[in-house]
Every structure is written in structure tokens, then in C-alpha cells.
Amino acid sequence: MTIQLHDTLQGRKVPFEPLKEGEVTMYLCGPTVYNYAHIGNARPAVVFDLLARILRRHYKLTFARNITDVDDKINAASVETGRPIDEITARFIKAYNDDMGALGVQPPDIEPRATQHIDVMIRMIEKLIEKGCAYEADGHVLFDVAAYERYGELSKRDLREMIAGSRVEVAPYKKAAQDFVLWKPSTPELPGWDSPWGRGRPGWHIECSAMAEKHLGDTIDIHAGGMDLVFPHHENECAQSACAHDGAPFARYWLHNGFLSIDQTKMSKSLGNVLLVHNLIETIPGEVIRLALLGAHYRQPLDWSAETIASARRMLDRLYGAVRGIEVSDAVRAAAEPPEEFIAALEDDLNTPKALAEFFALARALNKANDPAEMESLAAAMYAAGEVIGLLQSDPEEWFAGDVDGELSADEIEMLIKERNVAKSERDFERADAIREQLNDAGITIQDSREGTTWRRGA
């Protein structure tokens, strides 16, 4: 089946065809490393990690996810904390990669850092000036938006309307309000590099264009990121890259994930509802967070709440409960493939709700199976599907033994089961039933058999 992707530029779902047969290049806008990543930052990391996994099933993928380690927010964090910029960026680069790893996000093939590509940025800026698409003014270099007639095409904005409706005070060195900074001067206390325009630092937009050019070429197959980056960041990337490369498009497909809200409210520092992944993973298993982020279609808005987490936890309990206690040989597991319908759903513009429905259909089939060979085969297929989507990565027994904040621990459950067994042996059925009810209220399902009593979280 041909992979289908929704291209923001075309505004519709289209068949994916790479520029070079058998090979794909993909670029994802990564973090600005001045603080821990919040849950909204994690959504594109998880979503496009899944896309990378799907692409690798068919192509040789080169996946780059950048690090923005020179930025005014980083400078502000340095002033606020009194810590050197290098110390701040090193700390939060490691934290970001560790936290995303806890969510099952695989490392990209390339992780370019802005500070290691200043020379590439300077060369691209020089090229834009030579082509008449950028100009120097008052120590700044700015991109002349009027020089790119297709400006606004990605975000579906009309430049004339933007100019007419502009309420932004135009800096004296700008020709027009929409012109954006490619290079700006640095004062002695700020990071800076020597350039033909004096000591300074790059603007944000030029960083991604230059790093993508360096590692992936003039035109990349897929550029991904959050919906909030469509304008102005990705629009500006489109303009400067096309102008630098004689009109060649920056990316052939543009993919954007939807916004994430907290309890139906926009996440913001002023509201105090910013949820940091670094804190969430202290009490919530990474797989639960990953499934919660994949539960809605990636292009749709996603609301994050206590119920979002509880629902994801229940779903994972059902998946782990299906494979629990089933021995799968290495040979059977190695040969297993995910169900065709599961893969077809993911190849249809990452339709995770449909793919998860197929995953649970497989779990239901396994729960109903009685033949040992069939059970082993179905369990192996579930593990194969889990490898693709990044779930079922723990041992089932370890999963159910894991302690989650606010839930009964494994030891507490085992103690209650022992107490129930003693009550049954003493024919104190009222107490035994009360314990079963207590466990049921805590989301624990128990099952009695000749071999003893087993338990699992979830119905």
C-alpha cells in the first residue's frame, strides 16, 4: 500500500513519493533548550517518531531533529539563573533526550545543533544577499519578504492583507514589517560570532534552513512540526530556502500535528498549567503518556486531562493483560508480523485511532483463543504491532507489578489476595467478597483457578 500523508501546503491527503527512490529525508523542528519540555512539545516528538518507524519499514530514512541552542530565551534563562549558557543548554539537551526516550521516542539519525552550524548559516545569508532577497541594515541582515512572490502560500495568508492589517511597529532598519531577521548584532555579554556584518548571532528561522541543507540537501522529502510553527517559522523557512536554492522547494511534504490543551484550556505559564514531561514521568509510565499522545489523530486537537491518562492506562492494562502468561518463543516472535489492517491504518496518514482499534481486536481474539499454538501466534503478532507503535515494551508481569501514584501497589494487592484466600478457607465469605469488591473498586480484576489466584489491572 502507498503511504498517504496530509500535506499542509496542498491542504489535503496525498500519496507519498520520495524524491529519490528507496530513500527518504525528514526534518523535525526540535527543542529550544532553556527548560524542560512540556507535554505539548512531546506530541510532535512522539507522533513523528511513529512516522519514522513506518517509513523505515519501506525506505532508508535519514531523520534529522535539530537542537536550538542559541536563542533569546536561553539568554534570558542564563541571566535569570546566573548560570553559563553552555551549562544550561547541555543540561536541557540531555534532559530532553532522556525524557523523550522515556516516552519510547527513538533517537534521530542526526541531531544538529545550531551553534555548530553558524558557518553554514552565514554562507546561506551571504547567498540571499547576493540574490537580492536580503539586505543589511543597522548591523542586522533581514530577509526581504517582497522578493519572494509565493510568501504566505504554506500558511494560506495573503501578503497584501498582512501588510494592510499589520499593527506591529516597524523597526527603523526594516523596509517592511513582515521582513524577518536573518542575523542580529550581539552585545558583549551575549553569545556572538564574527560575520561580514559584525559580531552577532543568527535569527531563529535561518537555523533550520541551514541545518537541513547541510545534512539533507536543498530539498527534503518531509518537514514536520507542530501546527503553531506553520506561521511564521515554516513560512519563513520556505521563503529563504527557495530563494537560496534558485526556487527549489524546501520540502515536498509538510506535516503538522494539532494543538494540545489542558482540561479544555490553552496551556500557558500565566495560567500555571504547563505540564513538564520531566515531572510527569516520575509518576506516570512513559508508555501511558505515549499512548495518550497517540490516542487522537495527530492532526486533531488533543485535550490532556486526568481522564486522558486514566484511559490510556486502562487501555495498556488490557493489552498487557491479553499477552500476560503466554510464552512466545524467540523464533515465533522474530517471524511475526503486525496485522495488515493495523499497518494499513498507520500508513493512511497515521490513523492511530483506527490502528489502535485493530490492536484491541487482536487482543480480543487472543483472549478468546484456546489453542496454545494460536495463542502464541496471536501474542507474537501483538508484540510485532507493539514494536511498530512503541507499546508493549515491558514484560507483562513487570508492567502489572509497577506502582502508580494513587493505585494499590503490587505488594498491597498480593497481601489482599492472601487475606481473601485465608477468609475463604475459614468460610468467611462475607470478608472474601468484601476484599474482591475492594480490589474491583481499585481497578484490579482477579481470577481464581486450580493453580491459584491471578490478578491484573483493568477490567
User: Residue 149: its pLDDT value, please?
Assistant: 93
Helix ranges (H only) for 14-113 are: 39-56, 72-81, 85-102
User: Residue 221: its pLDDT value, please?
Assistant: 98
Q: CA of 166: how far to CAs of 161, 162, 170, 177, in Å?
A: 8, 6, 9, 7
Task: Name the residue with cell 512540556.
Answer: 38
**pLDDT class for 329, splitting at 50, 70, 90?**
very high
Counting Cβ atoms within 10 Å, is residue 80 exposed (0-12), middle (13-18) or buried (19+)?
exposed
Residue pair 210/120 in contact by the 8 Å Cβ criterion: yes
Instruction: Assess whether pLDDT exceeds 90 at residue 217.
Output: yes
User: Residue 429: its pLDDT value, please?
Assistant: 87
User: Residue 169: its pLDDT value, please?
Assistant: 60
Between 3-17, 168-182, 232-246, 394-408, the lowest mean confidence (pLDDT) is in: 394-408
Q: At what angle do helices 340-347 and 372-389 cross, to 10 degrees?
A: 10
Q: Which of 294, 288, 340 is nearest to 316 (CA)?
A: 288
Q: Which amino acid is at 16?
A: F
pLDDT in tens, 402-420: 754 456 667 778 888 888 9
Residue pair 244/127 in contact by the 8 Å Cβ criterion: yes
User: Residue 395: its pLDDT value, please?
Assistant: 93
**pLDDT class for 168, splitting at 50, 70, 90?**
low
Neighbours of 377 (CB within 10 A): 17
pLDDT in tens, 337-359: 999 999 999 999 999 999 999 99
Counting Cβ atoms within 10 Å, is residue 442 exposed (0-12), middle (13-18) or buried (19+)?
middle
User: Residue 404: its pLDDT value, please?
Assistant: 47
Q: How far apart are CA 181 and CA 36, in angstroms?
A: 27
Name the average pLDDT for the chain: 92
Instruction: Assess whether pLDDT exceeds 50 at residue 330.
Output: yes
Q: Which of 425, 418, 419, 417 is nearest to 442 (CA)?
A: 417
Residue pair 211/129 in contact by the 8 Å Cβ criterion: no
Q: Which residue has the higher pLDDT, 197 or 398?
A: 197
Instruction: Assess whether pLDDT exceeds 60 at residue 133.
Output: yes
Query: How large is the average pLDDT for residues 128-132?
Result: 98
Q: How far apart are CA 84 and CA 78, in angstroms?
A: 6
Q: How far apart are CA 362 and CA 366, in angstroms?
A: 6
141 forms bridges with which residues in the sheet?
A: 136, 183
pLDDT in tens, 352-387: 999 999 999 999 999 999 999 999 999 999 999 999
Counting residues of the chain whose pLDDT is more than 90, the rounded percentage is 77
Counting residues of the chain whose pLDDT is more than 70, the rounded percentage is 95
Q: Which residue has the higher pLDDT, 408 or 440?
A: 440
Q: What are the strands, taking DSSP E only, across 95-169? A: 134-137, 140-143
pLDDT in tens, 67-96: 999 999 999 999 889 999 999 999 999 999
Q: Which residue has the higher pLDDT, 31 or 435?
A: 31
3-state secondary structure (DSSP) of residue 257: strand
